[in-house]
Structure 1
Amino acid sequence: MLNHDQLRQRLYRQAEELVPVLRERAAEAERLGRLPDQTLNDFQQEGFFRILQPARWGGYELEPNDFFRVQMTLAEGCMSSAWVLGVIAIHNWQLALFDDRAARDVWGEDSSVLISSSYMPVGKVERTEGGFILSGRWGFSSGCKHCDWVFLGALVPALEPGRAPDYRTFLVPRKDYQILDNWNVMGLEATGSHDILVERVFVPEYRTHRAMDGFMQDSPGNAVNDAPLYRLPFGQIFVRAVSSSAIGALQGAVEQFIAHNRARVGVNDGRKMVQDPAAQLALANAMVCVDDCRAVLLRNFDLMLQRAQEGAPLEMQERVKMRYDSSLVVQKCSTAVADLMFNSGASTIFREHGINRAFRDIHTGRAHVANHPAKYAWNLGGVAMGQDSNDFFL
């Protein structure tokens, strides 16, 4: 049996070997509007979904940095594929925070079963004996056609008048929801992020997870999943699942920019692109952007895990700063990839060009609510000057 160091090295190597394969499959994935079956099979076979899954359910219980290194590497070949992996594999971590009965429901017969999500708090909730009645329509459930369960967000009305509602994640089986096929977008086409429809289904109490428990790093699942990994704040884990693939996609665009322009000569002026200051600047900035974004990600998770191992909570300003760090990633990458595209000549306007695909995918990823930096910047500035945080998805 491999130890953790051997396992993580094997995972890194397997991810690197899949990069050219995913790049070759990218056009097919876009056409299908989902991951090709072989890509999903590859991810399952290589154990990528199990990186953060509890060992008691066949997982590896490695560290977040191990997972995000794999995700970023895969994104060099296909950001859509890496995005789906990021979102779905994080759910295998979040399920460990639920009451253990929920994990038994999902993985009791097959520990490879996958969960999609939509955390937008649009569900309508009624209390009933033993749980809740849930209804609603949720958007943007990435990879939902590959999954047999879904996490859905909703606000549970307070029991006492005047108290704030309780945000929870509800775990719902495939038989209790419909997938509404409506994913027709400019980028990340292969994520298949369709809508989910639920009409008055019963969800037992134990199949819900309170956001406040995740924020306090003290969830029901910690009774059996007691590794420091499962004491990390849920908000910090999830937001990186929808930003980190942009780092890998930009790295892939950097490599394709070099290959495309190394010997290219401008057809209008006969100038070699390697001597074009604008192209040199665009490439240099993109390379530094990748390095900066990756370094901040790894640094932040090193600190989070260190605190969890010590049993010392993160300070509020540290959480708010890390949240802002994550929100900046896709904005930075979108600027860098745009400069690469516009300094690569007219051939990059064709959809099949790798830099064009990276441009579309990264800009589409920026539309995710977690990747809008302004409100997280305001919160960081306010907290630094003594105000209370207005965000608890931290």
Structure 2
Amino acid sequence: MFHDKTLRANPEEHALKAEAERLAPLFEAKGPENEAAGQLSPETVTELRGNGFFGMMVPKELGGADCTPLQTLSVVESLCHSDSATGWVTMAANVATASAAAFLPDEGVRTVFAKPGAMVAGAGAPRGKAEIDGNGYRLSGTWTYGSGCLHCDWIHAGAMIYENGAPRMIPGTNTPESRIFVVPVEQVEFLGNWDVLGLRATGSVDYAIRDVYVPHEMTHSASEVVGKRGGNGYRIGVVGFSALGHTGFALGHGRRILDELLALVTSPTGRPSPLASLGGSDAFKQDYAVAEGKLRAARAFVYDVWSDIQDTVDKSEPVSVRQITLARLALNHATNAMMEISVFAHRAGGGVALHAGPLQRTLRDSFAATQHVMVSDNALRDCGLDFLGLAEGKRWTPRGLVDAN
């Protein structure tokens, strides 16, 4: 991992960062087993739960670690360096768990966090339909990419609000209303369908909810940015939680790729790789230096952006559209750097990278990560919209810029 003291990587180190580094050998060793099972191993989940990783962004008053954005970024980066799927599930679950902790009404929070260490996971895209029913909703739908659902206690699911059979509009707008629903995992049907190229161990299965009554207090808006409880870190909102986690993945996984390539160079002579002899060709040495520069530059950009956001929330000020634009740009930039490094490592690794093993898995996981909506080209186009001065009256959501309400 990085040990640079010149970057403002984590001015107030959190105990979870030390725990992530202590547990790194276990998480790394369980990687192949996780992938074969299509989900994290029981040992991995036990350590994540027992050490509070799923409550990383949960307020202390609810038993969480209440990490700042910079602390969260650093911990996710460390976990993803150890094992990409372990880090991915942790960061995805933290988005849903932190959202519930920050934005649910008090009664809902008491229900969800009655059990210490509660974990929420799921997909916030409004793919479901919630028909108003008294002081609650009848929720139905099918959701995809439920990272962490196989290990959670509660499911987080987005849905459009319907009233008398028609979508209900946000007052004063032509925008349909949507909300996040938090449902006991026992009321959810898991559909499987995780036959993917990479990130297989995340178990990001499809799931269905069929005509389940959800009280209003078990729902919250997806666009809230000021938590009902907890610290100022919640001012980044759900869009900030998501960007933060995926950015930590790109940085940690990118470093793991370069470390795996370095291991080939320093391996004993005789290993089936051309890199084990004098560190490869001059061209390889040059390309490795370029790859190192790409990752370090991406990381410096990321921590610069998030340090600025940290300063803003520490002053109890709202995070601006431009600050989230920069965070989204830094995320895409880091993801592109990770992908370019992964392709370079695969080609340089020769036959070793072709066979089952860490280098092959890092390549597949990289390709899987680049398919997420958070790092789509649409996000970059929306960044350009803001930089061109055309985002007035807009706000960021995980899926891009929309009209502010």
Give the TM-score normalised by structure 2.
0.87
What is the distance in 2 between the residues matched to 1:331 and 1:7? 29
What secondary structure does 1:274 align onto? coil
What secondary structure does 1:187 align onto? coil
Q: CA 1:122 to 1:273, structure 2 compared with 1: closer, same or farther past 3 Å? A: farther
Structure-2 residue corresponding to 1:358: 362
Aligned AA for 2:29? E
The answer on 1:186 being equivalent to 2:197 is yes
Structure-2 residue corresponding to 1:42: 47
Confirm or deny: 8 A CA contact 2:61 2:230 kept in the other structure.
Answer: no
Q: 2:168 aligns with which of 158, 165, 169?
A: 158
Structure-2 residue corresponding to 1:241: 245
What is the distance in 2 between the residues matched to 1:286 and 1:183? 31
Structure-1 residue corresponding to 2:308: 303
Instruction: Note the C-alpha offset of 1:116.
Output: 0.8
Structure-2 residue corresponding to 1:67: 72
Q: 2:217 aligns with which of 206, 214, 225?
A: 206
What is the distance in 2 between the residues matched to 1:268 and 1:191? 30
Matches within 5 A, 1:50-129: 50-95=55-100, 96-108=102-114, 110-129=115-134
Deviates most, 310-319 or 72-81: 310-319
Q: CA 1:168 to 1:127, structure 2 compared with 1: closer, same or farther past 3 Å? A: same
Confirm or deny: 8 A CA contact 1:140 1:195 kept in the other structure.
Answer: yes
Structure-2 residue corresponding to 1:139: 144
Q: 2:335 aligns with which of 319, 330, 334?
A: 330
| CA-based RMSD | 2.5
Q: CA 1:6 to 1:244, structure 2 compared with 1: closer, same or farther past 3 Å? A: closer
Instruction: Note the C-alpha offset of 1:297.
Output: 2.7
Deviates most, 25-34 or 152-161: 152-161
What is the distance in 2 between the residues matched to 1:284 and 1:97? 45
What secondary structure does 2:193 align onto? coil
Instruction: Note the C-alpha offset of 1:273.
Output: 4.9
Identity across the alignment (%)? 23
What is the distance in 1 between the residues matched to 2:388 and 2:117? 46
What is the distance in 2 between the residues matched to 1:239 and 1:167? 20
Q: CA 1:345 to 1:231, structure 2 compared with 1: closer, same or farther past 3 Å? A: same
The answer on 1:13 being equivalent to 2:18 is yes
Structure-1 residue corresponding to 2:262: 258
Confirm or deny: 8 A CA contact 1:153 1:167 kept in the other structure.
Answer: yes
Q: CA 1:178 to 1:270, structure 2 compared with 1: closer, same or farther past 3 Å? A: closer
Aligned AA for 1:97? F
Aligned AA for 2:175? A
What secondary structure does 2:196 align onto? coil
Instruction: Note the C-alpha offset of 1:332.
Output: 1.8
Q: CA 1:365 to 1:7, structure 2 compared with 1: closer, same or farther past 3 Å? A: same
Confirm or deny: 8 A CA contact 2:95 2:238 kept in the other structure.
Answer: no
Q: 2:182 aligns with which of 146, 171, 183?
A: 171
Deviations 1:343-364 (A, max 9, x none): 1221111122x11111111111
Aligned AA for 2:110? R
Q: CA 1:158 to 1:248, structure 2 compared with 1: closer, same or farther past 3 Å? A: same
Deviations 1:271-295 (A, max 9, x none): 9352513321332233223322332
Confirm or deny: 8 A CA contact 2:140 2:210 kept in the other structure.
Answer: yes
The answer on 1:33 being equivalent to 2:44 is no
What is the distance in 2 between the residues matched to 1:120 and 1:378? 20
Confirm or deny: 8 A CA contact 1:351 1:357 kept in the other structure.
Answer: yes
Instruction: Note the C-alpha offset of 1:144.
Output: 0.7
What secondary structure does 1:151 align onto? strand
What is the distance in 2 between the residues matched to 1:25 and 1:199? 35
What is the distance in 2 between the residues matched to 1:150 and 1:286? 39
Q: CA 1:243 to 1:364, structure 2 compared with 1: closer, same or farther past 3 Å? A: farther
What is the distance in 1 between the residues matched to 2:67 and 2:105? 21
Instruction: Note the C-alpha offset of 1:70.
Output: 1.5
Structure 1: unaligned runs, 5 residues or longer = none
Structure-1 residue corresponding to 2:325: 320
Structure 2: unaligned runs, 5 residues or longer = 1-9, 162-166, 399-405
What is the distance in 2 between the residues matched to 1:377 and 1:66? 26
Q: CA 1:265 to 1:93, structure 2 compared with 1: closer, same or farther past 3 Å? A: same
Instruction: Note the C-alpha offset of 1:17.
Output: 2.4
Deviates most, 272-281 or 59-68: 272-281
Q: CA 1:113 to 1:7, structure 2 compared with 1: closer, same or farther past 3 Å? A: farther
Deviations 1:18-67 (A, max 9, x none): 22222211111011111000001111222222321111111121212212
Aligned AA for 1:326? L
What secondary structure does 2:117 align onto? coil
Instruction: Note the C-alpha offset of 1:84.
Output: 0.4
Confirm or deny: 8 A CA contact 1:52 1:67 kept in the other structure.
Answer: yes
Confirm or deny: 8 A CA contact 2:12 2:71 kept in the other structure.
Answer: no
Aligned AA for 1:379? D
Confirm or deny: 8 A CA contact 1:97 1:230 kept in the other structure.
Answer: no
